[in-house]
Amino acid sequence: MALRFYNTLTQRVEEFAPLEGNTVRMYTCGPTVWNYAHVGNLRTFTFVDLLRRWLRYRGYRLDHVMNITDVDDRIIQQALAAGKTLTEYTEQYTQAFLEDCAALRLERPERLTPATEHIPAMVKLIAGLRAKGCTYDSEGSIYYRIASFPEYGKLSHTDFSGIRAGARVDTDRYDKADARDFALWKAPKPGEPFWESEIGPGRPGWHIECSAMAMHYLGETLDIHVGGIDLVFPHHENEIAQSEGLTGKPFARFWLHAEHLILESQTMSKSLGNFITLRGVLSQGYPPEAIRYLLASVPYRKRLNFTADNPKAAATAVERLRNFELRLKTEKFPEGASEWLQVRAEQARQRFEESMDDDLNTAEALAAVFEFVREANTAMDAGDFRSANVPPALDLLERFDRIFDVLRPSEHAGGLSDAAVEALIAERAQARARRDFARADQIRKQLAEQGVILEDTKDGTRWKRH
């Protein structure tokens, strides 16, 4: 069976091959760097990493672009409140995001690039839409006229034909009930950053950056567009309207969306709060590979229920595979080969590959590997595992790890990084704000154990190492 993906656009599982040659042109909506990434965001990026690795496993080359949203309503508000420029404010969270990605072993896209470096491409796209009559101006802002794009709603499979023509929305994020003409270019407001341009002074809306950056680097029709399920509407619907409104060509052939991560109610909110950063989870002593494994183990179109226990279960699973690898590499086995084990290794490899080809069914792929590991361990204990059974077993593990990448232990850096300390302090502030003083105290103690002393002042929490 060929490689196939569920396409949100057609609501069907379809065979995948790139449009041109052997290179997959792919775009991912990146993080908005206004705060630390939530583990739920990182689930989407972990899925993207698995997708990249699997496409390469199947012999494709990648040209993958991911944006970093470093200007939007929330960033501007937060930067103003902190008395910082946009760049000063977003730099710290961009850095934190890159550290999280590195901890989770997420490959860098071929191009990872901030929105604010592509304002001219956005202006050009808006000017093009304006020339085609897809926009109108109001009070210095430019809006996309949804009525000019009759296919609006085709990705979310929603009939928007009844919406009021001319009703506008100014915020970047809104509910389905609020489908309206959205801002492409926002008029400058006092104190806010803006750019001078041929379409007037202003700043881009959130949606336009993805259309502009994707088409700038990858051409008018992408092979794959990826994002979290919460982006289907309005963000991706708007990306389609902006891009296809201009080119008249399909913007992306395949739309892949990763489901939500759900926090198990009670246990989880007590131990970690509703705001879970990777740093928060890692500070509880779990290795990053366990979290990578956990995020990868549930197929991306299923909701992932993140409980207080499942990082532990994931760590145990990773440990089991490492122990098996260690046995293969260090034990002395009798000469020869047990034929049935050679067959089982080959079957496991096939099932692993078929499962990944099947819309990245990671649960099934892992089951194939673990079933073989169990049988092989039993055979080792019984003296039935022989020296010639080692290479196919190692080959299976190598193929597994090319995608899952959890067998090599991380080097533990001594102590918490500054960013990790800041993340925990942010979590503590949230815990205090919702009067969860037990959690706030727990974080204070945890930091104290790492040699970090907190001091609460009227301007917020200061900290130092001792």
**Based on CB atoms, which residue is closest to Zn ion, 24 or 210?**
210
- Nearest distance in Å: CB 67, Zn ion: 7
Does position 42 interact with Zn ion (CB under 5 A)? The reply is: no
Q: Which stretch binds Zn ion (CB under 5 A): 50-58, 132-140, 204-212, 349-357?
A: 204-212
- Nearest distance in Å: CB 333, Zn ion: 52
The total number of residues shown for the chain amounts to 466
Sign (positive/negative) of CA torsion 296, 418, 78, 268?
Answer: positive
**Based on CB atoms, which residue is closest to Zn ion, 29 or 79?**
29
- Nearest distance in Å: CB 368, Zn ion: 34
Q: Which residues contact 362 (CB under 8 A, 6 or more apart)?
A: 50, 296, 297, 298, 299, 300, 355, 356
Does position 39 interact with Zn ion (CB under 5 A)? The reply is: no
Residue choice 9, 126, 129, 210 for contact with Zn ion (CB under 5 A): 210
Residue choice 29, 51, 252, 396 for contact with Zn ion (CB under 5 A): 29
**Based on CB atoms, which residue is closest to Zn ion, 129 or 452?**
129
Sign (positive/negative) of CA torsion 320, 322, 328, 330?
Answer: negative
- Nearest distance in Å: CB 233, Zn ion: 12
**Based on CB atoms, which residue is closest to Zn ion, 234 or 288?**
234
Does position 232 interact with Zn ion (CB under 5 A)? The reply is: no
Reference 76, options 179, 169, 205, 183; nearest CA is 205
**Based on CB atoms, which residue is closest to Zn ion, 210 or 246?**
210
Does position 258 interact with Zn ion (CB under 5 A)? The reply is: no
Does position 212 interact with Zn ion (CB under 5 A)? The reply is: no
Does position 252 interact with Zn ion (CB under 5 A)? The reply is: no
**Based on CB atoms, which residue is closest to Zn ion, 236 or 292?**
236
Does position 155 interact with Zn ion (CB under 5 A)? The reply is: no
Reference 123, options 115, 133, 113, 114; nearest CA is 115
Does position 215 interact with Zn ion (CB under 5 A)? The reply is: no
Total number of residues that touch Zn ion (CB under 5 A): 2
CB-based contact 188:201 (threshold 8 Å):
yes
- Nearest distance in Å: CB 455, Zn ion: 40
Q: Which stretch binds Zn ion (CB under 5 A): 28-36, 133-141, 162-170, 310-318?
A: 28-36
- Nearest distance in Å: CB 118, Zn ion: 13
Q: Which stretch binds Zn ion (CB under 5 A): 116-124, 188-196, 208-216, 293-301?
A: 208-216
Does position 26 interact with Zn ion (CB under 5 A)? The reply is: no
Residues that bind Zn ion (CB under 5 A): 29, 210
